[in-house]
Amino acid sequence: MSTCNATFYGVGVGPGDPELITLKAARIIKSADVVAYITNTKGGSVARNIASNVLAEAHSAQTTLPIEISMSIGRADINTAYDKAASLIIASMQKGKSVAFLCEGDPLFFGSFIYLMDRISEYQNCQIIPGITSVNAASAQLATPLTILSEDMAIISSRSTDKKIADTLKAYDTVAILKAGPQLPRLAVLLQTVGRADETQYIEYATHESEKIIRDLSLITDKKGPYFSLLLITRKEREYRCD
């Protein structure tokens, strides 16, 4: 495939609050020739909703490229959807059009942009505009520092094995377990077993209007939550002041 000077931008739009979109992200979104984003089967897009105010200020010739992907389908079908989307994006870029792909949080932090960049970067120029991650947003909304002085931290997916999660909880001072909602009953048992249940806070849709915070894990042991959620586990005794 031939290349041109057009750029494929992975634009992080942050965790949910539109005011957390960076100035650079807003500038790229408004100036892009094409804005792409993931939608569900009903046409809804979290990333587009977050950036809606910025998109309203875009130039009149800007077009959009919705990419429908259902997370309920198998990985092979998801990969096929990314293949098709990458072909459309490359076709636009070969016409000299810049493409901005909107991504919740940060593009390279569990972002859908990763799979498109993997398919496109060989042929076209890619640039990443970082965004505020769900972990940073959760820390702020919970008013809980992620790390202090000699503390260390791990970020782990709820899809990991019980052993991997338990080992991580034992080894690190701070642990963020992402996509926690669907796995809450299982994770609650693990946290109790490892002895860190009382060091755990739960947050879903951080910085969204529908944000929910639970600081007592016993209230959610038998319930599931949404995909956009996480558990933040920090030590009770922390190095706020030391000699």
Mean pLDDT of the chain, nearest integer: 93
Is the confidence at residue 174, as pLDDT, over 70?
Answer: yes
The residue out of 104, 132, 160 marking a domain boundary is 132
CA–CA separation, 10 and 28 (whole Å)? 10
User: Which of 116, 132, 148 finishes a domain?
Assistant: 132
Residues 125-133 have a mean pLDDT of 97
Same-domain status, 149 and 182: yes
Between CA 118 and CA 116 the distance in angstroms is 5
Domain count, the chain: 2
Q: Is the pLDDT of residue 1 over 50?
A: no
Query: Within this chain, do residues 123 and 186 fall inside the same structural domain, yes or no?
Result: no
- Is a pLDDT exceeding 80 seen at residue 3? no
For range 152-166, the mean pLDDT? 97
47 lies in the same domain as 65: yes
Q: Is residue 46 part of a domain?
A: yes
- Of 73, 98, 132, the position where a domain reaches its end is 132
Q: In angstroms, how far apart are the furthest CA atoms of the chain?
A: 62
* Dist CA 27 CA 58 (whole Å): 9
For the purposes of burial, counting CB atoms within 10 Å of the CB of 157, is it exposed (0-12), middle (13-18) or buried (19 or more)? middle
Q: Tell me the whole-structure pTM to 2 decimals.
A: 0.91
Q: 217 or 118, which is more confident?
A: 118
Look at the alpha carbons of 104, 109, 110, 113 in this order and tell me if their dihedral is positive or negative.
positive
Residue 241 within a domain: no
Q: Given pLDDT bands bounded at 50, 70 and 90, which one contains residue 218?
A: confident
Q: pLDDT tens digits for 62-71?
A: 999 999 987 6
Residue at 242 is within a domain: no
Q: What's the CATH number where 84 sits?
A: 3.40.1010.10
Query: 221 and 104 in one domain?
Result: no
Residues 127 and 41 in one domain: yes
Evaluate whether 105 touches 207 at the Cβ level (below 8 Å). no
Q: Check residue 70 and give its pLDDT.
A: 77
Same domain, residue pair 189 and 93: no
* In a shared domain, residues 191 and 225: yes
Share of the chain above pLDDT 70, in %: 96
Q: How confident is the model at residue 72 (pLDDT cuts 50, 70, 90)?
A: low
**What range does the domain containing 25 cover?**
7-132
Condensed to tens digits (0 to 9), the pLDDT of residues 42-61 reads 889 999 999 999 999 999 99
Q: What letter does residue 105 receive in the DSSP assignment? A: B
Phi, psi (rounded to 5 degrees) for 105? 65, -125
Is 238 inside any structural domain? no
* CATH number for the domain harbouring residue 143: 3.30.950.10
pLDDT above 70: residue 94:
yes
79 and 153 inside one domain: no
pLDDT at residue 147 greater than cutoff 90: yes
Question: Residue 77's pLDDT band (boundaries 50, 70, 90)?
Answer: confident
Q: Is 146 a member of any domain?
A: yes
Strands (E), the chain: 7-12, 34-39, 63-68, 99-103, 125-129, 153-157, 174-178, 200-204, 212-214, 229-233
Minimum mean pLDDT range among 15-24, 164-173, 211-220, 227-236: 211-220
The answer on 151 and 70 residing in a single domain is no
The answer to whether residues 81 and 139 belong to one domain is no
Q: What is the DSSP string of 52-68?
A: HHHHTTS-TT-EEEEEE
**Shared-domain flag, residues 33 and 119:** yes
Question: Positive or negative CA dihedral for 111, 113, 118, 119?
Answer: positive
pLDDT of 162 higher than 70: yes
